[in-house]
Structures are given as structure tokens and as C-alpha cells.
Structure 1
Amino acid sequence: MSERFAYVNGEILAETEASVSIRDMGLVYGDSVFDTARTFGGILFKLAEHVDRLLDSLAYARIDAGMSRAEFIDATERLVAANLPMLRDGEDYWVTIRVTSGLQSFDGEPARNTGATVVIDCIPIPLRARAPFFKHGIEARIAERCRIAPQAISPNAKTNNYLNMILAQKEISAAYPGAWALMPDQNGNLAEGAGCNFFVVKDGEVMTPATEFVLAGVSRQVVSDLCRDLGIPLRETDLPLETALQAQEAFFTSTSLCACPVASLNGHAFSSGVPGPVTQRIMDGFAQVAGMDYVAQYLNFLSDSVPGTGL
């Protein structure tokens, strides 16, 4: 069996058999939320935390999933177990739960919407595309397009409408192939990368934008806990570009990247190398929490190809 499975509304099906309606509100209006965990060595990491955040997003979007926290966890664990035989050597999965508000209804017709649509799937983490980031660091470039203001849509609700970030990444990719988009907030301070949180290290202190303007990432929280445990000062604060350029180190965090060094920002190279000493301590600590040398996993797939975000 070489085809992966997906979970759709209570059933685990082969991916080629899994489908949703063209009238699904997630497709029609983007009325949907999601959350993505990952595996390390085939074992799910921080799944409960991802499901808790999914439940928060569902409440924000006013979507009744018709499933409990325990049911989401059980369905996800069963799907990953079904897909483990298809996991290639040295690789791991992104595991995404998506929930939409169900089917669109039409005036004068019987109601079609019988409840939410729940889809869970597994896809390989883009280790090949992202491996160069762990060798050379990430080239970050600030996009002209700002992050959606929290007064419009909370950055802490993970909605399936990623167009804001996708357009920012397309803008940067067109001008700087292989670079990663970093978006400002509506006040001009640095917010978050496309799909990841941003940190700088200045004079031994780690700084990161506050969750008023950025997603409270699960990996971001791992780093926060590590800084506390390692005695590294951490501050959530507005992060102007000038402050970031005065830093000696920078890194991104995300579910797949964990913690990954940023080599430069808008062409300005950070002075402490790739990775800098504080970033290295955090990366080492993250590997211990994950129970796996994730950097070595990435570097095992290193090639001379142009890096890519996978977005």
C-alpha cells in the first residue's frame, strides 16, 4: 500500500477517495479553521496543544465541529497510525486538522448543511526544500504587505484563508528567490514570517512581537519555556526594524522548522553567525524537548538546490 489515508467526517479513506463538496463553506467563503502538528520519528508532538488552539479558533469563528477534544485527538492519532507505513525513511509528517462550517444553503431549497466538515490529513514535511536554511540560515525580507490588523481578524485564529501571507510570500519570492517573507503589523513594527514567529537576540536578550499582533505559536511557546529553563531573558515587545537590525542573532519558529536561524534581514547579515550562540542553545534545547535531532534530519536532505518555504 503506497497511498496515504485521510480522515473525512468520521471515516478514514484513501486520499484518492477523500473529497468535500463544491458547496462546502470552506471552499466557497473560506469559512474554516485549521491547526497543524508534526511528528518526530513518526510520533506526534504537542498534539494536545494544537487541538486546544484549534478549539479556540473554532470558538472564534463560531463553528461547531460536533467533536470533542478527546475525539479530535483520537481521530488524529488513528490517522497517523494508518499512515506510518507510508512514511519514507528519515522523513516526518505535517498533520493538519481542518474544520469548515459545512455546506452552503440556498434560498427556497431544503437545508443542505448537516454539520461541520472535518478533514485530517498527513503530508511529508518539506525537508528537502528547507534543508539549506539549517546550513546557511534563512534570508528574511520584509514584505510591503502588512499582516491583517487584529481588529479585522485575530492573528490567533488559524483560519484557512492564508491569502494575506501567501501574497506576502509571493511578493518576496518574485524579487528574492529562496527568501522568506517577514510581515510588518499595521503600525510598521515587525510581526511574523509567513507561517512562522520571529525572534531576535540583542545583547543576550531574546525579543519577539507580542501576541496582540502575531499567532501564539506552539513552537513559540516551546522557545518561551526553554528561555525560562535556560535562564535566557525573553521579552515580548513591539519590534521596530531598527531594533531588529541592531540585534546580533535572529531565528524563526514554526511547527516544521522548530527553531531555525535567520542569517540576514533585508540584506543585513546578523553578526553572530549561523546559528548564533543563544540561538544554538535554544535549538539544542528544542531538540531535547522533541526527542530528536531535527537539524540533522533536515541536513540529511541537503542539496545545492535553491531553498523554498514550502508555502
Structure 2
Amino acid sequence: MSSRIAYVNGAFIPESEASISIRDLGFVYGDSVFDTWRTFGGKLFKLEEHMDRLIESLTYAKIVIGMSRAEMIDATVDLVARNLPMLRSNEDYWVTFRVTGGLQNFDGEPARNLGPTVIIDCIPIPLRARAPFFKHGIDARLTDRCRIAPGAISPNAKTNNYLNMILAQKEISADFPGAWALMPDHKGNIAEGAGCNFFVVRNGAVFTPTTECVLAGVSRQVAIDLCDGLNIPIHEQDLSFDEAFDAQEAFFTSTSLCVCPVATLNGKPYPSGAPGPVTKQIMDGFAKLVGMDYVDQYLSFLSDGPASTGL
């Protein structure tokens, strides 16, 4: 079998044949939510935690999926199993479960919305594009474009409305190719990187913004739990730019990055290196938890090409 498989509205079909209607509300209005896992050695990580967050997002967006939690889990696990034969050596998958509001209805026409559109798909983690981040660290750049305020859309609902982050990343990439956008919140504090959570290390303690204005990332929680287990002081609080700028270390967390060191903020190097000693402890703890050296996996795909966020 040469084509990856996608799950579309209850059917497993070749990815190349998967499609949605031009009248789908996810496409027309962004009326959709999603969540994403990654695999380690072909095995899904934090399956239940991501699924619970997806269900919370569905509730927030008022989308009724028509599947039980168990059915959603079974479909996800089944899809990964079907796609494992297409996984190349030393690679792993991003696995994304998307649900839209279904088809748009029109005044005076027969009702056409028979329920939500449900899609699950697998694509390889961008190991080649992001490998340089694990050798040199990430160049984080603060944007002028702030994260959407929580009074408008909750940051803890994973919706397909990513234009806010995409514009921030495009603006940074235009001036600093290979850099990663770091967005402020509506109050002027640090919020999150485009698609990832942000942490700094100051005097041996770790600090990260509260979830008032940022997504409660699953990998963010793993890092917090690792800090607790390693007896590293961890604080969730508002984080000003000056506090982040004057820290000794920094790192991003996300489903695909896991824990990745930030080398510079607005061009200023963090003095403890990338990774610094505290960040390295957390990275090693993450690798032990998932049962594989994910840093070595990234570095095995390192080339002379430029780094890219993939956004």
C-alpha cells in the first residue's frame, strides 16, 4: 500500500481521495476544532489527554460530533495502525482529529447539513525542517501582533482559526528567516509562541505564563509535571518581556517539538546556552517518559538546509 489512509465521516479511504465540500462550515467560516497527537516509535502519546481536550473544544464550539469518546479513540488508534506501514525509517506521525460544523444551509433550499464533518489524518513530523532547532536552539522574536484576547475566543479551545498565529509567524519570517514568532497577550505580557508554549529559567526556577491567555498545552503540562518530579521550582504567572529577556534559559514545548531549547530572544543569546542545564534536565526527563531519544531522532535528519517552523 503506497498511499496514506485518512478517516472521513466513518470511512477509511486513501488520503489522495479525501475531500470536503466547498460548503463545509469549517472551510467557509472556520466553524471547526481539532487536536493533534504525535507518535513515538509509532505509538500515540497522551492519547486520552488530547482526546479530552478535543471534547472540551467541541463543547466550547457547540459542535455535536455524534461519536462517543470510545469511538473517537478507536478510530484514531485504527487509523494510526493502518498508516504505520507507510512510515519511513526513524520517522513518526502527527495525527490530527478535525471536526467541523458540517455543511452550510441556504434559505429556501432543502436542508443539507446532516451532521458534522469528521476527519482524522496522519502526516510525518517535520523532522528535517526543525532539526536545526535541536542543534542550535530557536531564535524567538517577539511580535507586535498580540494573541487573541480570551474574551473574544478562549485560548484553551483548539479551533481552526489560526490566522492570528499564522500572520504573526509570516511577519517574523519576513524579517528573520528561520526565527519563531513569540506573541504577547492583550496586556503586554508574554503569551506563547506560534503553536507552542514558552518557558524561561531564572535562578534555577522555571516560569511560564498562566492559561488565562495561552493554550493549556499537553506537552506544557508534561514539562510542569517533570519539573515537580525533578524538584525544579515551577511558577505559572504573568511573564513580562523584561523578565523573559533577562532569564538564563528558555524553551518551547509543543506536541511535535516536545521540549526544545530557545537560544536567543530578539537576537540576545541566553547565557546558559541552548539547552541550558535546567532545560537539559527537562528534555532528558521528557525523553525518558516517551521511551526514546527524540532529540537524536531530530538530529538524525539534520542537513545544511535552513530551519523552518512548518507554519
- Which interval holds the TM-score relative to the shorter structure? over 0.9
Q: Tell me, which stretches of 5 or more residues in structure 1 are unaligned? A: none
How much has 1:2 moved relative to structure 2?
A: 1.3
Aligned residues: 311
How much has 1:194 moved relative to structure 2?
A: 0.3
Distance 2:242 2:45 in 1: 36
Counterpart of 1:22, as a letter, is I
Distance 1:184 1:305 in 2: 30
- Show CA shifts across 1:76-103 (max 9, x none): 0000000000000010000000000110
- Map 1:184-199 → 2, pairs under 5 A: 184-199=184-199
Query: Match of 1:47?
Result: 47
Query: Match of 2:291?
Result: 291
Query: Match of 1:150?
Result: 150
Q: Secondary structure at the match of 2:12?
A: strand
- Show CA shifts across 1:168-196 (max 9, x none): 00000000000000000011100000000
How much has 1:159 moved relative to structure 2?
A: 0.3
How much has 1:47 moved relative to structure 2?
A: 1.0
Counterpart of 2:210, as a letter, is A
How much has 1:10 moved relative to structure 2?
A: 0.5
How much has 1:197 moved relative to structure 2?
A: 0.1
Query: Match of 1:310?
Result: 310
Q: Secondary structure at the match of 1:200?
A: strand
Query: Match of 2:173?
Result: 173
Query: Match of 2:135?
Result: 135
Counterpart of 2:140, as a letter, is A
Distance 1:2 1:294 in 2: 26
- Map 1:64-143 → 2, pairs under 5 A: 64-143=64-143
Query: Match of 1:58?
Result: 58
Q: Secondary structure at the match of 2:192?
A: strand
How much has 1:258 moved relative to structure 2?
A: 0.1
Q: Secondary structure at the match of 2:3?
A: coil
- Show CA shifts across 1:284-310 (max 9, x none): 000011111000000000011110001
Query: Match of 2:257?
Result: 257
1:22 and 2:22 correspond: yes
How much has 1:132 moved relative to structure 2?
A: 0.3
How much has 1:8 moved relative to structure 2?
A: 0.3
- Show CA shifts across 1:220-277 (max 9, x none): 0100110111100000111101001111000000000000000000011100011000
TM-score if structure 1 supplies the norm length? Answer: 0.99
Distance 1:37 1:146 in 2: 26
Q: Secondary structure at the match of 1:160?
A: coil
Distance 1:109 1:304 in 2: 56
Distance 2:229 2:182 in 1: 28
Distance 1:299 1:305 in 2: 13
Distance 2:132 2:243 in 1: 27
Distance 1:208 1:102 in 2: 37
How much has 1:55 moved relative to structure 2?
A: 0.3
Counterpart of 1:247, as a letter, is A
Distance 1:211 1:306 in 2: 32
Q: Secondary structure at the match of 1:263?
A: strand
Kindly, what percent of the aligned residue pairs are identical?
Answer: 74
